[in-house]
Structure formats: C-alpha cells, structure tokens
Amino acid sequence: MTAAEYAEQQGLNRVGARPSLRSYLMQAWQRRDFAFELARSRLQATNQRNRLGMLWVIIKPTMNALMYGVIFGLLQANKPHDFPAYVVIGVFFFEFFTGSVNSGAKSITGNASLVQSLSFPRITLPIAAVIQQFLTLVPMLGVMFIYCMILGTPPKWSWLMVVPLLALFTMFNTGMALVCARLTVHIRDFTQFLPLITRVLFYTSGVLFGVDRILNAFPILVRMFDFHPLYQALQIARGSIMNSVDYPPFYWVVLGVWAVVALVGGTIYFWSAEERYGRID
C-alpha cells in the first residue's frame, strides 16, 4: 500500500485539495462573517486613505453622471424623456457592476500572501469584493433618489422594486466577479484589458441613450437588447423609479435567468480551479 492510499484510507486529504462542491459551499457559508468583515474593513480603509472619505463614493458617480449627461445630452437629438434622471440612474447602477468585476478580478492575485498562508475557501475573497461594492452602493442609492426627486421624479411605491432588482443584480455581479477572479489567475494581463471591456459595455448597455430611439432603424438590434442583462437591469431600475420609462414585465424573468446562470456557472467555474489558487506566484 502506497502512502497516498494509506492516507486516503485514514481520511487524510492533501493540503490544498479541492473539496466537493457541496462541502466547499458549506465551508464558505461558515465563513460568511469573515467575508463581511473583510469587505467592511477594506471599505473603511479605502475611505480613510481618501481625503474626502465617504464623500468620494458619492462625488465620483455624480461627476460622471454630470459629465456624460452634458456631453451626450448635446450630442443626442432624440434623447429619452427626463434625460438627466435617466443618466443618473444608469451611471449609478453601472458603477456597481464595474466595481464588482474590477475588484473581483483582483481578489485572488491581490491577496497572494493571504491565499498562500491560510486554508479557507478562496471564493470568500471575490464574494467579499462584491459585498464591499454593495456597501458602497447603499449610500449612492440614497443620493440617487435625492437627485431623482430634485430632477422632478416624485417618490412612489414602485421605488420598492429596486430591492428585488438589487438582489438579482448582485447575483449577476457576483457570478461575473467569480469568473474574472479565476481568469486573472490564469491570465495576469486580464486586469489590463478589463477596464476596456467594462468601458465598451458602458457605451453599449444603454447607460446614456434610449435603445429604441437610437437604434429604431435596426429592429433586430433593438430586439437583441431584450436579452442584454445590463440593459435590462438599468431599464427595470428606470421603470421602477421614473414615470417616463416602461419596460416589458418579461425583463424580470430574463434577468432572473441571467442572474442564476451567472452565479451558478461562476461558482462552478471558480471552484473547479480551487487547487490552483494556492500556487499563485
């Protein structure tokens, strides 16, 4: 009997060996407090490093919305109704997606000493990155609602639909963060291309324009946006908050499918390379 066979017979596992998916997820759930505290402490540390602290979290998307709103407002002849609020909602929600995938991509390679020195499910690191972005989003949403009221959008009960929307959007962003985290381990230069990818998505997800207005001469392209998860999330948010934006109810179903597929697929994709993460250079 070999040493490996004897160790298996005695229930001993190789250091860093990948557990079953069920066991892996149970271990990650047991360490949920660790993921939350890691996200909270890093958010606090980030705010302490900035002179403006938490204000920068609000100022950045505000300046982006103002800049893009002015530029694209001047360039577009056929703007959506209530264009300022339209852009504010789009920019604030897209910031959550961008922050999730960017920080998720660096969650493993950026924590090499932690990954190589301690034994824990590595999935907690990209999840902590998404939690950090979610905690950043909460005060941003409060400011976004204030901006919408200032811009002429009165509060209404449908604003509460933002809560289930955030649940689905967070699931989708988590799945994307897990995929990006593993890709960065295999391809270190991926973080150099990721800002370009998110920028392309920013300009092609209807953040700054009405798809039905800009692409009305291309009905096939307009139809394709009915299955674009980022566009659907933005349109549901706008339809829930604004009076001038409507969206088909089936957007909820399609976005829900995207969220589940992204989360499940991202989890399996990340877990299948668990043994690789402890050997990152």
State the distance between the two ends of the chain, measured CA to CA, in whole angstroms: 35
- Residue 128 belongs to what H/E stretch? helix 124-150
| pLDDT value at residue 68 | 74
Tokens found for residue 107: 């969650």
What are the sequence ranges of the domains in the chain?
Answer: 28-277
Amino acid at 53: G
* DSSP SS3 for 263: helix
Residue 264, pLDDT score: 97
| Residue 4, pLDDT score | 46
The reported pLDDT for the residue numbered 52 is 59
Segments of the chain scoring below 50 in pLDDT? 3-8, 10, 12
What is the value of pTM for the model shown?
0.88
- Whether 34 contacts 120, CB under 8 Å: yes
pLDDT of residue 6: 43
60-50-94 Cα angle (round to 5): 25
The pLDDT of residue 16 is 55
